[in-house]
Structure 1
Amino acid sequence: MLPVKQELKNFTNTLSSVPKLGVGLLFQAPLQSFVEANFDSFDFLEIIPDTFWNDLGASVTPRYEENQNAQKYIEFLSKHKPIIAHSIGLSIGSADWFDIIHVAQIAKWQRQYHFSWHSDHLSFSRLLQAFGHPIDVGLTMPVPYDAEVLDILVERINYVHQEVSVPFLLENNVYYFEIPSQEMSEADFLNQLTARTGCGLLLDLHNVYVNAYNHRFDPWDFLDKLDLTQVVEIHLAGGMVMEGFYLDAHSGVCPEVVWQLLEKVLPKAPNVAGIVFEIFGTYYNHMGPELLKQELSRAKAIWKTNR
């Protein structure tokens, strides 16, 4: 059992009071020139905090070696725009290991940079090898949608809420294979998870489209079954088809159907505080600043219409 230090704050009632930030951009180092030249094209920035430190391993103290130059740059950015954290390192779905040191590091950064909320992925990426050494598989692997996993996640989310003083969101995951004989649908699992914990959702609409494309289901049906009142953030991105699969590559412009999903979802999701466009830095030169500004401008127009 995870330690409980205090009575848990009820985050269910705080989602509606999260500051409405508008349209943001996921920051990566190759986007630095774009960010500095186009501060008016976005309202806030989302950072991946794990990319600003080196994880020296769970057996090392202190475990995290922080990049001082990178931190100074975050401080520079925070003077111009609000900063939000979207982590990739918690691996909250790992069956035999929950990383409370990672949670403490996120809590430290929240105190330092005053994130209005923070998020991670509803997935696992770490497995324990022999002798208890973790290995990172390099992918956000899907968790089974069953009661046992739900109970594990509820306890862990409650611990995150206890340690970090702002709302915590989990992102719906991409999956390229389906786990057979699951007890619940994805929408039902997410609804139960948020109802039991007050955790918010980071609804990645491109992930929904990727899964719908690869597994041949109707994305509108999935969204109709989801409790959209728990959505605090929405992600948009582009991808590519490779060997018959559509990949969540964050490689360019957002597909038209994803824009249509956004226009349908946003009026039904009253607690959305931000829309974030994601582009991997490795694809930025291919996309170019003008196309990126167009994507952000379109998102801003939809935000303005619905907010």
Structure 2
Amino acid sequence: MGLTYVRGLERLVEECAEKLDVIEVEPQTFWRKRPDGTVGTDEEALRRLAGLPGARLLHSIGDPVGGTVLPEEEHLRLLGELADRMAVPWVSEHLAFNRVGGPDGFRTGFMLPPRQSPAGVERAVRSVRAMADALPVPFAVELGTNYLRPRADELGDGAFAAQVAERADCGLLLDLHNVLANERNGRCTVDELLAGLPLERVWEVHLAGGFEYRGYWLDAHSALPDEELMRLAERVLPRLPALRAVLFEVTASAAPGLAAGAVRELTDRLREMWLPGGPAAVAAPRVVVRQVVGGPSPEEWEAALGGLAVGREPRTALERELAADPAIGLLRELILEFRAGALAGTLTHTVRLLLLTLGEAGVRELVAGYARSRTPGLYATEEASAFADHLRRVCPAVPLLPDVLELDLGLMLVRLDGEPRTVTLGTDPAVLLAELGAGRLPVAPPQGRYRLRLVDDRKD
């Protein structure tokens, strides 16, 4: 039993320590893209992680293996190194795509459902094998959330995942909240999906909480599992003969609203569901897989869906067909929210100044304009640098913005490589930091020429 971990969950982990056998880490949250374009690991963050209880698992979130674009070699190297250092028994990644290939390729900023066709199985198997071959430990794929309407020209969700897992000879991560969300959003029922899966390949289970938004149930990791999900877990966990880990997923932003006692009760309840009678080792009968002929190629699917998701207007027949699905509007909104969140977490003082000056609607419009001008980056620091360039181009009427932006960028670069930096400002930095840190707009702060030396003091 365990928790997935991101920075900000330390209190919850510490208060539940005696109930946790394992902590699952998202490795990309420990990677940093340096100013020279290389990617490295945040060693100080890893040192803090080493003090947390339990064993470790790695759950990758940046190189999904359901699409046509192979995982990036540099990421595979970093992932393999972390797997070795943490002595994990296996690594997992999502059966989805977040990159569109070709000469004008781009990232989508969100994991999107792959093309569920025989050709899509072929492409996914190739990607799964590429990642599995680069790792020093076994590899599993997670069935993701799919907000799109089902299509007549696609394999069922369970059949697609089953064919990929069996042909690539990998494990499965069964996120029960994902599959319940898919049922609630009009895709196949949970029982239909389970009947199509090789349950003997399920090594790991995830549970989480979500909420309803715009007629969809979102996989938001925002709360404890609801009772319907717990009843599902009670039915499913004993049917998984190879199950070795059950993880509760929650975001750092939701953690303050969670009582540690409730999380401890959750782990106890799940442990009782899973362990008393031992694994049943009896899978449900397999369903008959329908034949799929025709439809778009995986490459056409990814270009169309990816382009629509990042806000491009439909041009082809497939894009117009997909654009009629209400989920496209939802995906665009979710991607914009993720990008805005990355900026708020990186350019903290800048975003606060913008909110205090322009208001929420004005900032939303500003970020939307930025998003239209540039497709998403993988790293929050990439988004921050690009957004800073955008602000310099559009020059919003926000007093003090150049100084606050310079200060935030300096802080970001110091955190990236640990090297001290000096920034020159026209406003007293002590006043800027104090007022914005307290959520107040600086009023007539002292002006002049201020040189501020920034150092990384996290080791102190």
The TM-score normalised by the length of structure 1 is 0.84
- In 2: Cα distance, 1:254 partner to 1:306 partner: 23
Give the Cα–Cα distance (whole angstroms) in 2 for the partners of residues 306 and 100 of structure 1.
43
Contact 1:97 1:128 in 2 (8 A): no
> Residues 266 and 306 of structure 1 are in contact (CA less than 8 Å); yes or no, is this contact kept in structure 2?
no
Per the TM alignment, residue 290 of structure 1 is displaced from its structure 2 partner at its CA by 2.3
Which amino acid in 2 is paired with 1:249? A
Instruction: Please list, as runs of the form range in 1=range in 2, the aligned pairs for 1:194-205 lying within 5 A after superposition.
Output: 194-205=165-176
**Conserved 8 A contact 2:67-2:123:** no
Q: In structure 1, what is the equivalent of residue 44 of structure 2?
A: 69
- Does residue 26 in structure 1 map to residue 4 in structure 2? yes
Name which of 27, 48, 63 aligns with 1:90: 63
Which 4+ runs in 1 deviate beyond 6 A? Answer: none
Work out whether residues 158 and 192 of structure 2, in 8 Å CA contact, stay in contact via their aligned partners in 1. no
Is contact 2:157-2:188 (8 Å) kept?
no
Contact map agreement 2:116 2:160 (CA 8 A) in 1: yes
| 1:126 and 2:95 correspond | no
SS at match of 1:35: helix
How many residues align? The count is: 278
How big is each residue's C-alpha offset from its partner over 1:89-134, in whole Å with a ceiling of 9 and x where there is no partner?
A: 11323434532221121111111111111101111112358555x4
**Correspondence 1:40-189 to 2 at 5 A:** 40-56=18-34, 60=37, 63-77=38-52, 80-128=53-101, 134-135=106-107, 137-178=108-149, 180-189=151-160
Q: Structure 1, residues 236-295: CA drift from partner, whole Å, max 9, x if none?
A: 011101121111111111121212222222222100110000111101112232222222
- Over alpha carbons, which structure has the higher Rg? 2
| Inter-partner Cα distance in structure 2 for 1:26 and 1:270 | 22
TM-aligned CA distance change 1:102 to 1:216, over 3 Å: closer
C-alpha distance after superposition, 1:63-90 (max 9, x if no partner): 322212101122223xx41000001011
- Higher RCO (C-alpha 8 Å, min separation 6): 1
What residue is the counterpart of 2:180 in the other structure?
A: 209
Partner of 2:260: 289
Q: Which amino acid aligns with 2:158?
A: A
Secondary structure of the 1:305 match is coil
Deviations 1:154-202 (A, max 9, x none): 1222222222121111110101113634341111111111111111100
Q: Which moved more, 1:148-157 or 1:224-233?
A: 148-157
> How far apart are the structure 2 equivalents of 1:115 and 1:285?
29
Identify unmatched segments of 5+ residues in structure 1: 1-22
What is the RMSD of the two structures over their aligned residues, measured on CA atoms? 2.0
Higher deviation after alignment, 173-182 or 280-289: 173-182
Question: Could you tell me whether the CA contact under 8 Å between 2:3 and 2:22 is conserved in 1?
Answer: yes
| Aligned CA distance change for structure 1 residues 282 and 224 (closer, same or farther; 3 Å) | same
Paired amino acid for 1:174 = T
Q: Is the 8 A contact 1:144 1:182 kept in 2?
A: no
- Following the alignment from structure 2 to structure 1, what is the Cα–Cα distance between the partners of residues 113 and 187? 18
Further displaced range: 233-242 or 35-44:
35-44
The secondary structure found in structure 1 opposite 2:222 is: coil
Partner SS for 2:18:
helix
Q: Percent identity, aligned pairs only?
A: 28
Partner of 2:271: 300
Moved more, 203-212 or 184-193: 184-193
Is the Cα contact below 8 Å between 2:172 and 2:202 reproduced in 1? Answer: yes
SS in 1 for 2:242: coil
Q: CA deviation at 1:56?
A: 4.8
Cα distance, 1:216–1:156 mapped onto 2, change above 3 Å = closer
Q: Where does the alignment leave 5 or more consecutive residues of structure 2 unmatched?
A: 279-460
Structure 2 Cα separation of the partners of residues 270 and 28 of structure 1:
29
Moved more, 113-122 or 187-196: 187-196
- State the one-letter code of the partner of 2:74: I
